[in-house]
Amino acid sequence: MDVKTILLFVHITCFAAWFGTVLASLFLLKTLESRLTGTAERAAEYALLLREFIKRETKVADAAFIGVVLSGILLASLFHGWTFWVILKSLLIVLQVALTMGYIIRAIQPLSYPCSPESFRNWYKLFAISLTMFALVLGVTFFLL
């Protein structure tokens, strides 16, 4: 295998891992919804479980994101070039992180459990933002690059 193939493999694998962490979080949150919006009896226990999961999930997502960025920079610098579409893809990834982190700070961190189902919907809005941005990045990658 040549260097380009290895870099493409790393880039795609890291992107898939990053995307996978978002989906895993979505599935866990959907599973825990009734427990985190219900009565206070066991909400603290499930909130602790959620915090521990997010702490570990963040480590995986951060490593995958760093892999996407580093392999993408190497691919663009060594093989593909810094075309308009590569720059657009890069800007979309930066925008995704900014929107996601901004929404987490504004709407997710203030949540305490148990919370109302309306407040819990902030989680689903976060996933909508993240998955929409993933779709845009993939659209640019597959149809315009």
Nearest residue to 9 via CA among 71, 92, 90 = 71
The pLDDT tens digits of the residues spanning 91-104 come to 999 999 999 999 99
Q: How many domains does the chain have?
A: 1
Predicted pLDDT of residue 1: 78
Task: Give the residue, 144 or 3, on which the prediction is more confident.
Answer: 3
- C-alpha separations of 108 from 17, 36, 46 in Å: 22, 13, 16
The pLDDT tens digits of the residues spanning 13-26 come to 999 999 999 999 99
Task: Give the residue, 60 or 1, on which the prediction is more confident.
Answer: 60
Q: In terms of residue numbers, what domain contains 90?
A: 3-143
pTM, rounded to two decimals? 0.91
Preceding omega of 114 cis (within 30 degrees of 0) = yes
Give me the phi and psi of 34, to 5 degrees please.
-65, -30
Alpha-carbon span 38 to 35, nearest angstrom: 5
Task: Give Cβ neighbours of residue 37 (< 8 Å, ≥ 6 apart).
Answer: 113, 114, 115, 116, 117, 120
Alpha-carbon span 30 to 55, nearest angstrom: 18
Six token digits for residue 100: 């996601």
For the chain, what is the radius of gyration of the CA atoms?
18
Name the DSSP letter for residue 10.
Answer: H
CA 111, 129, 127, 71 dihedral sign is negative
Give the Cα-Cα-Cα angle 20, 22, 27 (nearest 5 degrees).
95
**Could you tell me the end-to-end alpha-carbon distance of the chain, in angstroms, rounded to an integer?**
22
